Structure 1
């Protein structure tokens, strides 16, 4: 058998420009849409190798090839021009004015025969429609009748009214099916929901139909994609159906031939043992149509009526034809939906699944992927607990979309967490991040905001790299919007970065966002920030964000505030072109009674004074169970300062969900755990600290450092949620 020269199945080629032929029209676009629909439906309906349309030129009695589908124009070259007396199937069909099947493979593409049928116009013959068949023997009468029906519609549409609706007579109570509108709507459809909406808007009204079900075929099961006009109990039962359990659908999928059932009596006559699902349907008539794309059945579309409905030949043809277009659109949309879902899953996998509930901060966040983009974005946020109940908040946006940008975002988020654990101030942390982004390449950039909240000092410090500044919502509902000069984005900046400071009252809301939330095609950043501030002010006054509540209730109110902001700033999320990130944190300052500190002398007496201070303070806090361990820890830390560092020395105790002990000194020397041998007299101090505490670490200040350790509180001393 000859090699089959096949082009993409959805492609329609015009071998030569239409000149003075019968099919030439002043509406080239409508002409092409009609040819595309006719050829696709003819080839798909007969499961052919390819399909062709010839125009008939009465003046010289020739057939001239004007469009092909499924094969290349070069493969159809031997039939580019056919005299009326030729023995090829298209020419025989013209002479006899009937459908003609001629066996063989005249074009050498692997066909078994050619079925041709003339295209009768309103008052003259306009051409021939041919399908190069692949099955054994001549197509049966059902398939030949199907091809003749398509040819009748195509002939009238092409010859007399090329710009007219698909149905040249009104089909229903409203208006005829507008082929151009439907084709445009399906071409613009991105998601499966868009395809269903386009079909419902442009097809159901002309037929007077009031029900629609779309199924996607997955292996041997049908997955409900969408439906209209059915009760909930029916849809619950119809979510997933084995193809074999529904005889009607089994016939449609197996034969690729639509089934038109005009009444329940007709249904029971054809399928007396149908599944109980049919009994739940409130409909009285149905059109079951296979959705075919790329030569495969990809789903089933069911158009239904609440009253018995006799289907005319024209209605059957139109529904069959339209289902071919819908099959292609649905396959494309399903691929988009699947890719979009995978992209969102990847993006969310790179973000924190939950935000921690911390003593000084409750928070809620939103990540909103671009509605019209299957690629992952580079927006991220995080909430990182630091020592002494301090909290780091970060939000950023890697410029661009795609796997590379998502990977960069993942690297930056990991780097921020690592550097945050070292208790770096925001400006120094940005210096490290900037170097990292630069190393990724010249085209790598990221905007970022990194903020550290200190509940004891009641301040927050932050740095900006090309990012919108934070917004502070005060307890009385007023807003404070700092307007510092941001540094350039990471990857484009030259350190040092600026460090900014804010004083906070007892409670505040800190709002951080990416530009995707506030900037759009019809709104610049300043307008978006103004709208965000207005929304926050109204919401804070209305919902009482600062009222009494436990931590769970606090988070719940923040979640509701996030939803309010998103609804106001992104009312049509499906149309957004950029990702958006939002982080809202409720800060709570530490009560003065939960902090105690004292200065210590720079001599060996310091350790004893520190132990005495710990005993008195823990007795006041009723934490006597921790006294012995805390004395050991403080004695070791203060002793290290006296032996290896320099003063001034200060001890601070912080009571929260844990007990934190901090020792400050004037040295920048880094403490390290040593590996002491059995014969060493020292070197085990920090090993003891690590063993007795939950965690420990160091942070560096402008004039020295702080060594801190944390211990779990006894259960009875834990604060109640």
Structure 2
């Protein structure tokens, strides 16, 4: 050009150097290209305006996703957006690579902006330079893999401590900080909540400072914008007051980024480098993405910890302490909430001193694992304590509690408007009546007598002094809250010195894919393994160890909850109560016995009696004798139910004399004595006494004042034990 000639238009100048101009209107969703920019996109060389969708089709999909993040970062920080983009033709083939540089212009807020920039064709980078080239090549793939790993690790962190540990272990592609710090905001103060790469105590000057301090993290919290310091000189000039504190760490570059959740700045994150970092747009994009993930993770962890603290306090307030020591007895208990949700549910236990000097042990489970279940549990527990304190017997306590729960859930279902299905609290459709299972035990510390009432709950188990574990069938009724007029019969058991009673909720039994039978088998193994024998089996410390072992066997290590939350996720709440009668048994080798009633209306309890006898004979050496004993009690109980109008009382005892002897008695209220018959080949009855004569070592029928008792004895067979009756024992004495 000659001196004095006017300058050519800017567009002509840029076109002369193969550079196009474009403008992206975010509000309208339109992008305008000049002729050169259109040519670079593979379009006719003329000015054109396209929709965002049409423009997106000209770029490689990975690059389009990339530039969106770069643009958002530039909008947030008010910086240039720079990226490399691959242009594709209509068949999806890459025809060239361009470099885009643009400047965002905001219109009110970050959601309404324009981008004005340039496009210039560039050559592909050499393979050796790809690792440090923005956007393209190996660096991009490394960055994407890093962000995926970092996001996964931060998402899995369950506490603030875990989040900080994950953040300290992040190794960014191509530039890894050797010092990290996370700052939190409390009121108008900035505090350090975690750091890495500094010696303990070196963070002290930064642990508590006002937000108006001339320090990069404080500025980031005040403004919500990141601060990048590429050199020590830049740090010293911009923050002269804070520089002496930072100088001693001998770092070369620093990045301070806001931690923002839902538009609110909750803190700041510092990444410090031991070497100079220029903080390219791509490096800033990585740091910004990590800061966003870190902020979300810290927010989730804070909410989780607050909920855990709230629910732990709620649960502790609902669960009782076990109170003073009980003369002659020891008690241990555990409560473990489910690992999901608010960790609060409907399981509970209680120990209630009674006016008679006895104690009541209660364990139960309100349907559900939510806040409503916990609320109903609290109400039901208070009601049970009130009824027990009034001196009611176990059956009356449960009857009243069932009526109470039925009334409470009915009022919630009908609601304040009087119509069905209205929730009284929410005023919305509820239709969610709840019930509860419960086991109530009244124990006499002096005699060891237990009176048990059961409402749809698992039966109790007793570990005897010699380690034998029996699940004791007890009479029961419907769960509480189902029928306001339900009855709850009482079962009486005796806890001998050295015996331990276990009552629990079904979370202990059926967790881990177990059903009722296999779950009890697992618990029986734990009781036998950790129970101990004799006096030591009821030692309070041993009882606490047993309670830990029961829960640990189901869910792994834990810290006590009445004693504390668990670390893994559970399928159901667990409540466990152990009651041991202390002291030594009267004899060094005590007899072990079981007793149960089979009512006329409960023929299904014959099967329970067979199962009970097998458990009593769990260590009997001769399996044939066990089968014989089971067959004989089945015949004896069935005869009572068929040939009399009363109930049958079964008592089985294993004694040492010195060889072991099994004695089984079945008593009833009928005076009619059985007679041995000789049934024909097709007869359907009359073989009971014949079987006893064939299978029993001794048997007989004893008349009583009212009724009779038929009994048999078996002497354990082994290589060293004779089947002959002990000295002085007579032969069979049946009534002929």
Deviation at 1:120, TM superposition (A): 7.0
**Any gaps of 5 or more consecutive residues in structure 1?**
1-11, 61-93, 125-151, 593-721
Name the structure 1 match of 2:493.
Answer: 502
Aligned with 1:507: secondary structure? coil
TM-score (norm 2): 0.54
Alpha-carbon deviation of 1:501? 2.9
* SS of match in other structure, 2:531: helix
Question: Taking structure 1 as reference, are residues 365 and 277 closer, same or farther at Cα in structure 2, changes over 3 Å only?
Answer: farther
Question: Is contact 2:326–2:445 with CA below 8 Å preserved after alignment?
Answer: no
Distance 1:274 1:441, change over 3 A: same
Q: TM-score when scaled to structure 1?
A: 0.55
Query: SS at the partner of 2:259?
Result: strand
The correspondence of residues 264-413 of structure 1 with structure 2, limited to 5 A, is: 287-303=255-271, 310=277, 312-313=279-280, 314-353=282-321, 355-374=323-342, 376-387=344-355, 389-413=357-381
Residue in structure 2 matched with residue 23 of structure 1 by the alignment: 56
Q: Please list the CA deviations of residues 23-46 of structure 1 after superposition, one character each: whole Å capped at 9, or x if unmatched.
A: 369999x89986885676556546
How far 1:368 moved relative to its partner?
2.3
**2: CA distance between counterparts of 1:562 and 1:237?**
48
1:236 to 1:112, Cα distance in 2 relative to 1, 3 A: closer
The DSSP-based 3-state class of the residue aligned with 2:385 is helix
SS of 2:547's partner is helix
Q: In structure 2, which of residues 486, 504, 528 is the aligned counterpart of residue 537 of structure 1? A: 528
Once the two structures are TM-superposed, the CA of residue 412 in structure 1 deviates from its matched residue by 0.8
CA distance in 2, matches of 1:96, 1:286: 27
Q: Deviations over 1:415-445 (max 9, x none)?
A: 1111111332322211111111111235111
Shift in Å at residue 394 of structure 1? 0.9
The residue number in structure 2 matching 1:570 is 555
Alignment partner, residue 454 of structure 1: 444
- 2:105 aligned residue: 101
SS of the equivalent of 2:311 reads helix
Which residues of 2 match residues 691-710 of structure 1 at below 5 A? none
Deviations 1:183-237 (A, max 9, x none): 4555566654564566456656875456654444232345665566666666899
CA distance in structure 1 between the aligned counterparts of 2:541 and 2:205, rounded to whole angstroms: 34
Query: Would you say 1:168 and 2:140 are equivalent positions?
Result: yes
Q: 1:33 to 1:404 in 2, by over 3 A?
A: farther
The separation in 2 between residues aligned to 1:462 and 1:272, in whole angstroms, is 78
**SS of the counterpart of 2:400?**
helix
1:583 aligns to 2:577 (yes or no) = yes
| Partner SS state of residue 435, structure 1 | helix
Residue of 501, 505, 510 corresponding to 1:514: 505
- CA 1:404–1:25 in 2, change beyond 3 Å: closer, same or farther? farther
TM superposition shift of 1:282: 11
Change in CA separation of 1:390 and 1:194 when aligned onto 2, cut-off 3 Å: same
Please give the alpha-carbon distance, in whole angstroms, between the structure 1 residues aligned to 2:399 and 2:439: 13
Q: CA deviation at 1:408?
A: 1.1
1:547 matched to 2:551? The reply is: no
**For structure 2, which runs of at least 5 residues remain unmatched after alignment?**
1-25, 31-50, 91-97, 124-132, 411-432, 557-565, 587-736
Contact 1:466 1:487 in 2 (8 A): yes
Indicate how the Cα distance of structure 1 residues 386 and 113 shifts in structure 2: closer, same or farther if over 3 A, else same.
closer
Distance between the aligned counterparts of 2:140 and 2:570, measured in 1? Answer: 39
**1:116 matched residue in structure 2:** 115
Structure 2 distance, partners of 1:31, 1:523, is: 52
Secondary structure of 1:468's counterpart equals: coil
Where 2:536 maps in the other structure, the secondary structure is: coil
Over the aligned positions, Cα root-mean-square deviation in angstroms equals 5.1
In 1, Cα distance between equivalents of 2:153 and 2:487: 53
Q: Would the aligned equivalents of 1:378 and 1:399 in 2 still touch at CA under 8 Å?
A: yes
> 1:181 Cα shift?
4.4
Q: Are the equivalent residues in 2 in contact too, given 1:372–1:575 (CA < 8 A)?
A: yes
Distance 1:482 1:462 in 2: 11
Find the residue that maps to 1:464 and give its secondary structure.
Answer: strand
CA distance, structure 2, for counterparts of residue 555 and residue 548 of structure 1: 9
Is the CA contact (8 Å cut-off) linking 2:461 and 2:472 kept in structure 1?
yes
C-alpha contact (below 8 Å) 2:60/2:88 kept by paired residues: no
